[in-house]
């Protein structure tokens, strides 16, 4: 590759970002940020939702949405990008800077064949004027991203899986051989196993091409295992910068430490996860103090007087914590503290008296031209009273369909469901009394915290309605009952008057749990209840699930794609693959000793920590 | 990922909408307080005077029968507003009920309601009104009834698609798993969430109904002869276009102003609340 040689001859960093501040009108979204990307280097910008990381990526590529303005200086190889006219910038995009977006399905034009996306990028290069030359090059480019099946180039995006789409998008982004690739959550929308493949591919391509990479992600583990340098962004300001290995081993900012500690480990079950209290603030609300002050265990008055700026603490390390030197000892001690783990006493292998029993369940949907599509195919499982069972599988495996059949939102095509001794296969065929009993025995928690509550009802109305549906409810729900439900999920009684729009994702999910608890169910079916939440909030909600299980003797069917989450919650897991259960057993043994090839792939796809834990 | 905060500018009511609201308010005041505001009786004929151009006594002149045009226009606000309000309210009631059932229940109910809507779509609206009023008689109120039924068809589709949008959301599923009754889910959970969309379309219905009813009156199928009505005034004062143009232009301008104002308000409501 001759371009590589030419690039290596130049000096200085490829990209420097100085004092980049993004604002929406008068409302600041980020404080001035600095970033340096060396040639051939991979950096990660890590942040939770609302940190401003995606807008930062867009600002660098000159693609900010209307109404959002950026000030500062972005210099790419000596070119001041922020001062370029749109016409000039267009020549830079694609050929010098390329972007890879989160959602592979919306990133490709639905009316263009996948090969044409790459072809389009090659068109204005003189060496590919002829159609045949371009076709040859498209083939080569697709092969680079691991697509060897030539048929793929002729297919439409909707005929491809998410992982395939992302590969095509990557090939298109790389088609003009950019010096810098900005990947904005490139794997978040994909299944765990595909995620690992895409990230591996991204790393390989980056190294082979000696290209610079900015990876935007919320996933610390992913950032550490992929990139050399880490920028931690929180509520619009940079809190910590350093090399991946040293940041992971010895974080200099309480927030980074909190993130590292709150991520559930996959290898051990912890007695209690370590959450960060509260939720992520908006950048504008913390303009005059340390953004993390309200959630920090080491906060003093100093932290609230003015915004601390990023300061060098080491040759290569920066932190925005002004108390770092005082508290580093404590941070280190917490970081190094070995995980204590809680062994589970395995239950006896009895299946009599199961709370939920599913036998050879089949659910088919009518697809296009009335062709049946089998969502679940002969699934059998059981859940004992008080037991917490995990159901692991990727999207399309049928896990949500199974959950919806259990709570009567779908009617199975064949098979039997027995809940609390009552046949609950077809809710419409049950007597009214039986249906009422089942409704109160089994409740569901949904994935999306933003639409799980009726936006027009206050929290009190939502809980009151649920209380009205519980057994023997004759009088209207009293404020005391609502307050005690709120207390159950760790929220103050004053929340009864709040509306969903004023609540954070974590709070909404708590309300949804309280609503389900109102009818005193024996089992909760939880469909990815924490996957839409910020990492620092996930641990809070997982702890809540564990506490509620102990206090209310609840059973769980915990549906997730995240093995680390299921490790913390479930005693026993089922692995669902293409509508069938391929493996089942105690969580411990399935994760440490997977037998089915799919389970093995799933376990291997978890980004590994660079540092070994103390045994 | 990072959703920008909603800016304050989006929340401010644009000046055009304020003017439109002012015009509509003025119309409503005319409709309610017609007798108190009008300078003259709208019915008093001065056959000896006949049609005169605007003068200090009759600001908008008089019509062929010597009646004060301004007073007739002010009184005319009543039939101009009452009919469309009834049409909009009727269409709203029918469309909401049918749309909710159709969207939520699906299956046979949905098919039946949608075929009914398709049938209504196939009918040329104003023509049906002309035929029905011509055959059945009953004038203005028959026309109002026919328009309400006709207008409910497109609205039913709107309501149905709004319901289909809400139906798969987890909050509906959550209500179902709690065993909340269907009626309660429809009217307490779904209806408030789609109300803004319905409201916006109801306002647009009003504007259409106003124009349609004025058209029918112009054709002599609306109000009784002699009633002060903008559409009818257009018809009656055709012949004096050159002796007193105001008698024709004023009601025409009123129809246009009211219809445009309501359209603007409806569009704005839709942009503001339903999107």
Q: What is the pLDDT of residues B93-126, one digit of tens each?
A: 999 999 999 999 988 999 999 999 999 888 887 7
Alpha-carbon distance of A288 to B84, in angstroms, equals 55
Whether B13 contacts chain A with CB within 8 A: no
Which of A24, A27, A439 is facing B177, going by the closest CB pair?
Answer: A439
Residue A268 predicted with pLDDT over 80: no
Query: Comparing B30 with A105, which gets the higher pLDDT?
Result: B30
* pLDDT band, residue A346 (cuts 50/70/90): low
**Closest CB from B5, B7, B174 relative to A446:** B174
Spatial separation of the C-alpha atoms in residues A168 and A152, rounded to whole Å: 9
pLDDT, mean of residues A29-40: 91
pLDDT tier at B8, thresholds 50, 70, 90:
very low
Q: How long, in residues, is chain A?
A: 615
B203: left (phi over 0), alpha (psi -120 to 50) or beta: alpha
How far is CA B133 from each of CA A111, B139, B236, rounded to the nearest angstrom?
A: 50, 6, 20
Q: Does A219 touch chain B (CB under 8 A)?
A: no
Q: What pLDDT shows up at residue B190?
A: 94
| Residue A363 CA, distance from chain mean position | 28
**Range A453-471 average pLDDT:** 88
* Strands (E) located in A486-602: 523-527, 555-560, 572-577, 580-586
Residue in A25, A49, A516 nearest the CB of B7: A25
Q: In this complex, is the C-beta atom of B107 within 8 Å of any C-beta atom belonging to chain A?
A: no
SS3 A415: strand
The reply to whether residue B2 touches residue A53, judged by beta carbons under 8 angstroms, is: yes
Reported as a pLDDT band with limits 50, 70 and 90, residue A2 is very low
Of residues A67, A404, A518, nearest to B4 (C-beta): A67
Specify the 3-state DSSP secondary structure of A103. Answer: coil
Q: What is the mean pLDDT of residues A99-126?
A: 86
pLDDT in tens, A5-25: 444 446 788 999 999 999 988
Nearest beta carbon to residue A454 from set B2, B4, B189: B189
- Banded pLDDT at A372 (limits 50, 70, 90): confident
Q: Is the pLDDT of residue B9 over 80?
A: no
pLDDT score, position A350: 65
Question: Does the CB of A284 have a partner CB in chain B at under 8 Å?
Answer: yes
Q: Comparing B110-114, B169-173, B196-200, which segment has the lowest mean pLDDT?
A: B196-200
* Residue A3 pLDDT > 50: no
Chain A closest CA to B113's CA: distance in Å?
A: 23
Cβ-in-10-Å burial (0-12, 13-18, 19+) of A138 comes to buried
Averaged pLDDT score across all residues of chain A: 86
The mean pLDDT value for A544-571 works out to 90
A436 to chain B, any CB pair closer than 8 A? The answer is yes
- Report chain A's terminal Cα–Cα distance, integer Å: 46
pLDDT at position B43: 82
For residue B3, the chain A residue with the least C-alpha distance is: A50
Q: Shortest CB distance from B1 goes to which of A25, A54, A469?
A: A54
Contact across the interface for B177 and A436, Cβ inside 8 Å: no
Mutation to test the B interface, candidates A23, A456, A508, most B Cβ within 10 Å: A456
Res A345: pLDDT: 59
Percent of residues, chain A, with pLDDT higher than 70: 94
Beta carbons of B179 and A439 less than 8 Å apart? yes
**Domain B45-274, what architecture?**
Orthogonal Bundle (1.10)
pLDDT in tens, A401-441: 999 999 999 999 999 999 988 888 888 888 888 888 898 89
Which B residues 140-169 touch A at CB under 8 Å?
169
Predicted pLDDT of residue B1? 37
| Range picked from A176-190, A290-304, B96-110, B205-219 for highest mean pLDDT | B96-110
Per-chain mean pLDDT for chain B: 86
**Structure confidence at residue A611 as a pLDDT band (50, 70, 90):** very low
| Coil, strand or helix at A390 | strand
**CA–CA distance, B153 with B121 (Å, rounded to integer):** 7
Q: What is the pLDDT averaged over residues A103-114?
A: 85
Q: How far B14 CA lies from chain A's nearest CA (Å)?
A: 18
A305 touches chain B (CB under 8 A): no
Q: Does B137 touch chain A (CB under 8 A)?
A: no
> Which residue stretches of A125-191 are H helix?
131-144, 162-174
Domains for chain A: give ranges and CATH numbers: 2-234 (3.40.50.300), 256-336 (no CATH), 356-451+526-604 (3.40.50.300)
Q: What is the mean pLDDT of residues A528-536?
A: 84
Residue A151 and residue A146: Cα distance in Å, rounded? 13
Between CA A152 and CA A155, with CA A153 as vertex, the angle to 5 degrees is: 65
> Is residue B3 predicted with pLDDT exceeding 50?
no
Backbone Cα Rg of chain B: 22
pLDDT of residue B110: 93
C-beta atoms of A54 and B2 within 8 A: yes
Q: In the prediction, which pLDDT does A471 show?
A: 63
- Is residue A110 packed enough to be buried (19+ CB in 10 Å), middle (13-18) or exposed (0-12)? exposed
Cβ-based neighbours of A111, under 8 Å, separated by 6 or more = A156
Domain edges within chain B:
45-274
Task: Please check whether residue B5 touches A, CB under 8 A.
Answer: yes
Query: In Å, how far from its chain's centre is CA B203?
Result: 6
Mean pLDDT of the region B260-268: 91
Which residues of chain A neighbour B186 with C-beta distances below 8 Å? Answer: none
Per-residue pLDDT for B136 more than 70? yes
Is B182 near chain A, with CB under 8 Å?
A: no
Please give the Cα distance from A176 to A419 (Å, whole number): 59
Say yes or no: A65 contacts chain B, CB-CB below 8 A.
yes
pLDDT value at B6 more than 60: no
Residue B50 has pLDDT above 80, yes or no: no
Rounded distance between C-alpha atoms, residue A295 and residue A259, angstroms: 12
Q: Do B7 and A27 touch (CB under 8 A)?
A: yes
% of chain A exceeding 90 in pLDDT = 31
pLDDT of residue A614: 38
Alpha carbons A169 and A183: distance in angstroms, whole number: 11
Say if A442 is an interface residue toward chain B (CB within 8 Å): yes
How close B110 comes to chain A (CA, Å)?
A: 18
In sequence order, which residues have a C-beta less than 8 Å from that of residue A443 and are 6 or more positions away? Answer: A407, A516, A517, A519, A521, A523, A524, A525, B177, B178
Position with higher pLDDT, A473 vs A177: A177
Q: How far is B211 from chain A (nearest CA, A)?
A: 35
SS3 A252: coil
A 71-130 near B (Cβ less than 8 A): 102
> In the predicted model, is pLDDT for residue A612 greater than 50?
no
Contact B171, A451 (CB under 8 A): yes
Among B3, B169, B176, the residue with its CB nearest the CB of A409 is B176
- Residue B169: what pLDDT? 92
Summarised one tens digit per residue, pLDDT across range A132-162 is: 889 999 999 999 888 888 888 888 888 888 8
> Does ipTM exceed 0.85?
no
Tell me, what's the pLDDT at A162?
A: 83
A44 token code pair? 């990660």
Q: Is the Cβ of A169 closer than 8 Å to some Cβ of chain B?
A: no
Give the tens place of pLDDT for each residue, B149-164: 999 999 999 999 999 9
CA separation for the pair A280, A272 (Å, rounded) = 21
pLDDT recorded at residue B5: 41
Q: Give which of A221, A194, A202, A264 is closest to A598, Cα–Cα.
A: A194
Q: What is the pLDDT of residues A577-589, one digit of tens each?
A: 988 999 999 988 8
pLDDT of residue B10: 52
User: d(Cα A36, Cα A60) in Å, to the nearest integer?
Assistant: 12
Contacts of A50 in chain B (CB under 8 A): 1-3
Q: What percent of chain B has pLDDT over 90?
A: 36
CB contact A38 to B (< 8 Å): no
């Amino acid at each position: 590759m001759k371009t590589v040689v030419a690039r290596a001859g130049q000096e200085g960093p490829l990209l420097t970002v100085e004092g980049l501040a993004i604002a929406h009108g008068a409302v600041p979204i980020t404080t001035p940020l600095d970033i340096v990307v060396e040639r051939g280097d991979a950096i990660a910008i890590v942040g939770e939702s609302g940190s401003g990381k995606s807008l930062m990526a867009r600002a660098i590529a000159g693609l900010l949405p209307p109404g959002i303005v950026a000030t500062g200086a972005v210099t790419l190889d000596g070119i001041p990008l922020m001062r370029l006219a749109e016409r000039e910038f267009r020549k830079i995009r694609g050929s010098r800077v390329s972007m890879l977006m989160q959602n592979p399905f919306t990133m490709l034009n639905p009316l263009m064949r996948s090969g044409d996306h790459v072809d389009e990028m090659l068109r204005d290069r003189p060496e590919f004027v002829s159609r045949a030359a371009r076709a040859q090059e498209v083939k080569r480019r697709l092969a680079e991203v691991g697509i060897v099946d030539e048929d793929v180039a002729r297919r439409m995006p909707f005929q491809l899986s998410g992982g395939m789409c992302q590969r095509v998008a990557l090939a298109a982004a790389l088609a003009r051989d950019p010096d810098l690739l900005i990947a904005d959550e490139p794997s978040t929308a994909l299944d765990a196993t595909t995620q690992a493949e895409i990230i591996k591919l991204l790393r390989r391509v980056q190294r082979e091409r000696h290209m610079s990479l900015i990876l935007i992600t919320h996933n610390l583990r992913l950032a550490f295992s992929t990139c050399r340098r880490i920028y931690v962004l929180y509520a619009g300001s940079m809190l910590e910068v350093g090399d991946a290995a040293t940041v992971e081993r010895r974080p200099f900012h309480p927030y980074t430490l909190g993130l590292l500690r709150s991520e559930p480990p996959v290898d051990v079950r912890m007695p209690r996860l370590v959450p960060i209290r509260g939720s992520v603030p908006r950048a504008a609300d913390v303009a005059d103090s340390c953004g993390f002050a309200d959630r920090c265990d080491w906060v003093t008055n100093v932290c609230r007087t003015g915004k601390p700026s990023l300061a060098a603490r080491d040759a290569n390390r920066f932190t925005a914590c002004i108390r770092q030197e005082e508290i580093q000892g404590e941070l280190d001690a917490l970081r190094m503290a070995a995980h204590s783990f809680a062994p589970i006493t395995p239950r006896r292998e009895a299946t009599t008296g199961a709370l939920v029993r599913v036998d050879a369940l089949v659910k088919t949907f009518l697809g296009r031209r009335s062709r049946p599509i089998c969502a679940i195919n002969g699934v059998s499982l059981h859940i004992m009273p008080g037991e917490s069972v995990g159901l692991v599988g990727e999207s399309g495996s049928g896990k949500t369909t199974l959950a919806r059949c259990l709570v009567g939102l779908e009617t199975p095509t064949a098979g039997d469901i027995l809940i609390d001794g009552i046949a609950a296969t077809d809710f419409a065929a049950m007597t009214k009394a039986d249906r009422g009993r089942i409704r109160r025995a089994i409740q569901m928690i949904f994935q999306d915290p933003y639409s799980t509550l009726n936006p027009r009802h206050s929290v009190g109305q939502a809980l009151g309605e649920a209380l009205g549906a519980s057994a023997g409810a004759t009088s209207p729900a009293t404020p005391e009952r609502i307050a005690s439900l709120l207390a159950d999920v760790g929220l103050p009684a004053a929340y009864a008057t709040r509306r969903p729009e004023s609540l954070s994702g974590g709070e909404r999910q708590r309300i949804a749990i309280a609503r389900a608890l109102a009818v005193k169910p024996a089992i909760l079916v939880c469909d990815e209840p924490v996957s839409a939440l910020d990492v620092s909030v996930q641990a809070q909600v997982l702890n809540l699930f564990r506490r509620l299980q102990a206090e209310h003797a609840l059973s769980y069917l915990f549906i997730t794609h995240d093995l680390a989450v299921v490790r913390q919650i479930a005693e026993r897991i089922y692995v669902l693959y293409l509508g069938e259960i391929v493996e089942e057993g105690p969580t411990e043994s399935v994760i440490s000793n997977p037998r089915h090839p799919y389970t093995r792939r799933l376990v291997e796809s978890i980004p590994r920590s660079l540092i070994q834990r103390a045994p | 990922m990072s959703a920008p905060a909603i800016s304050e500018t989006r929340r401010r009511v644009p000046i055009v909408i304020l003017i439109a609201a002012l015009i509509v308010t003025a119309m409503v005041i005319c409709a309610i307080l017609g007798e108190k505001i009008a300078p003259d009786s709208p019915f008093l004929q001065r056959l000896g005077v006949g049609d005169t151009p605007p003068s200090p006594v009759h600001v908008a002149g008089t019509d062929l029968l010597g009646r004060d045009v301004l007073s007739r226009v002010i009184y005319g606000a009543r039939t101009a507003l009452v009919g469309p309000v009834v049409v909009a309210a009727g269409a709203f009631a029918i469309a909401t009920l049918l749309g909710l059932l159709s969207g939520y229940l699906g299956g046979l109910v949905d098919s039946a309601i949608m075929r009914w809507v398709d049938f209504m779509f196939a009918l040329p609206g104003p023509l049906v009104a002309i035929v029905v009023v011509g055959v059945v008689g009953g004038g203005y109120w028959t026309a109002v009834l026919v328009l309400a039924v006709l207008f409910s068809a497109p609205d039913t589709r709107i309501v149905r698609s709004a319901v289909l949008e809400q139906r798969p959301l987890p909050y509906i599923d959550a209500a179902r798993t709690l065993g909340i009754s269907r009626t309660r889910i429809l009217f307490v959970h779904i209806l408030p969430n789609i109300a803004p969309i319905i409201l916006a379309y109801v306002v647009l219905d009003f504007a259409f109904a106003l124009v349609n009813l004025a058209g029918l009156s112009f054709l002599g199928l609306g109000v009784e002869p002699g009633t002060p009505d903008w559409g009818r005034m257009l018809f009656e004062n055709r012949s004096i276009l050159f002796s007193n143009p105001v008698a024709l232009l004023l009601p025409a301008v009123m129809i246009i102003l009211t219809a445009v104002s309501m359209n603007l308000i409806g569009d704005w409501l839709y942009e503001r609340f339903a999107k």
